Amino acid sequence: MNHNTPLTPAASRPARRLPGGQRRVLSTAQLRSLGVSPGEMNEQCRSGGPWQQFLPGVYLLHQGPPTSEERLHAVLLYAAREVAAPAVPAQPEPGQPHRPVYREAMITGLAALTLHGFASAPALPSLDRVDVLVPRLRRLRSTGCAHVLRAAALPTPEEATGVPVAPVPRALADAVSQLTDGGTVRRLLSEAVRAGHCEPAAIIRELDQARLLGRPHVVDAVDALLAEGRAIAEDRLYAMVREFGLPDPVWNVDLRLPGGPHLGGLDAYWPQQAVAVELDTRAPRQEEDALWSEYVRKREHLERLGITVVYVTPRKLREGMEQQAAVVRTALMASGDRDPAAYVVVLPR
């Protein structure tokens, strides 16, 4: 038999045993579980045959380029330690899709951001390679469109369009590690916060762990991110007061003792009740530094003067606005049971 000899019915038998529809990309192990021998796999992939080997140990059961979905599954099949389960159960349980379970592998980087719905991330067909995250000790090389990235500890994957993807902060860090254009980095970080995917603190934590905060274009993007994150948090604070019927405070003020020192700035202050709200927008790496010490000193000083300070994080405002409103309302109601606060001068900030 030469390469131009048509396939015999015996050589084409595997194609009739295999799934159609969505599962048109399978690994060597899956094909073997279906009774396809290595010789039959090679025969199907010969010139003029119906299949192609797309990545090592991964086959497309058709000729021509893969779809974006097939490429994602092919990369995961190449990188993952797949849970032992047949590709096509003989008797699938009712309501259970024939969906592979990928172990120790997930899509990350720009491809993951696209799957998370980022408008500023490129379309999947335009990506020359797909980043896949695996444990650091895995012996696996990048090949073809599969670009292997490693982590000492894998994050818990999320699911998007039926494939496991890294959470947004990790996917951002993996994408940023390969980007040199500051504008692209700023757009991605900004969309992550503006679209509600995550808070600035989570992004900065991942960038810090990836040792990316020393790159000038990343530092500039992070500065812009923190400014935008604070603006979004302030808008949510305004919405909390409005939507939950809290009394109107004075916004963005500085407090001073009469003829005395500056006491600090506050995002919201109720003078009659001597209750203040301050947004805690510190970056994660600042939790134990001088800025946190300053937060503590200011709070202790104000409370000695009889002023109750409520610290609110952007995440709490996003995920539990009603609960934060209840905390502030309780502090306002409790003001009548406290001794009067010291007189302070309230100035616009």
Decide if 100 is inside a domain. Answer: no
Quick: pLDDT tens for 194-249. 898 998 989 999 999 999 999 999 999 999 998 888 899 999 999 999 999 999 99
Q: Tell me: do 225 and 254 sit in the same domain.
A: no
Q: Tell me: do 227 and 248 sit in the same domain.
A: no
DSSP string, 125-138: GG-S-EEEEEETT-
pLDDT in the model for residue 9:
42
Decide if 237 is inside a domain. Answer: no
pLDDT in the model for residue 19:
53
- Residues whose CB falls within 8 Å of the CB of residue 12, separated by 6 or more in sequence, listed in order: 44, 50
User: Taking all residues of the chain, what is their mean pLDDT, rounded to a whole number?
Assistant: 86
Q: Tell me: do 134 and 72 sit in the same domain.
A: no
CATH number assigned to the domain comprising residue 261? 3.40.960
Q: Tell me: do 269 and 330 sit in the same domain.
A: yes
- Residues whose CB falls within 8 Å of the CB of residue 196, separated by 6 or more in sequence, listed in order: 318
Quick: pLDDT tens for 84-119. 444 444 444 444 445 667 999 999 999 999 999 999
Decide if 2 is inside a domain. Answer: no
Dist CA 184 CA 178 (whole Å): 11
Count of domains forming the chain: 3
The mean per-residue pLDDT over the stretch 65-71 comes to 94
Decide if 166 is inside a domain. Answer: yes
Q: Tell me: do 120 and 224 sit in the same domain.
A: yes
Q: Tell me: do 203 and 281 sit in the same domain.
A: no
Quick: pLDDT tens for 136-195. 999 899 999 999 999 999 999 999 998 999 999 999 999 999 999 999 999 999 999 989
Q: Tell me: do 151 and 114 sit in the same domain.
A: yes
Decide if 238 is inside a domain. Answer: no
First vs last C-alpha separation in the chain? 86
293 against 310, higher pLDDT? 310
Given a cut of 80, whether residue 12 has pLDDT beyond it is no
Among 186, 208, 231, where does a domain finish? Answer: 231
Tokens of 311: 């610290």
> Which pairing describes strands 58-60 and 345-348: parallel, antiparallel, or unpaired?
unpaired
Inter-axis angle of helices 182-194 and 216-243, nearest 10: 20
Q: Tell me: do 114 and 190 sit in the same domain.
A: yes
Report angle CA 73, 57, 177 to the nearest 5 degrees. Answer: 55
pLDDT category, 297, cuts 50, 70, 90? confident
DSSP string, 32-72: HHTT--HHHHHHHTSTT-S-EEEETTEEESSSSPPPHHHHH
Given a cut of 90, whether residue 342 has pLDDT beyond it is no
What domain range includes position 309? 244-348
Among 179, 204, 231, where does a domain finish? Answer: 231
Given a cut of 60, whether residue 286 has pLDDT beyond it is no
The mean per-residue pLDDT over the stretch 243-266 comes to 92
Q: Tell me: do 73 and 184 sit in the same domain.
A: no
Q: Tell me: do 66 and 159 sit in the same domain.
A: no
- SS3 state of residue 293: helix
Q: Tell me: do 110 and 178 sit in the same domain.
A: yes
- SS3 state of residue 11: helix
Among 208, 231, 254, where does a domain finish? Answer: 231
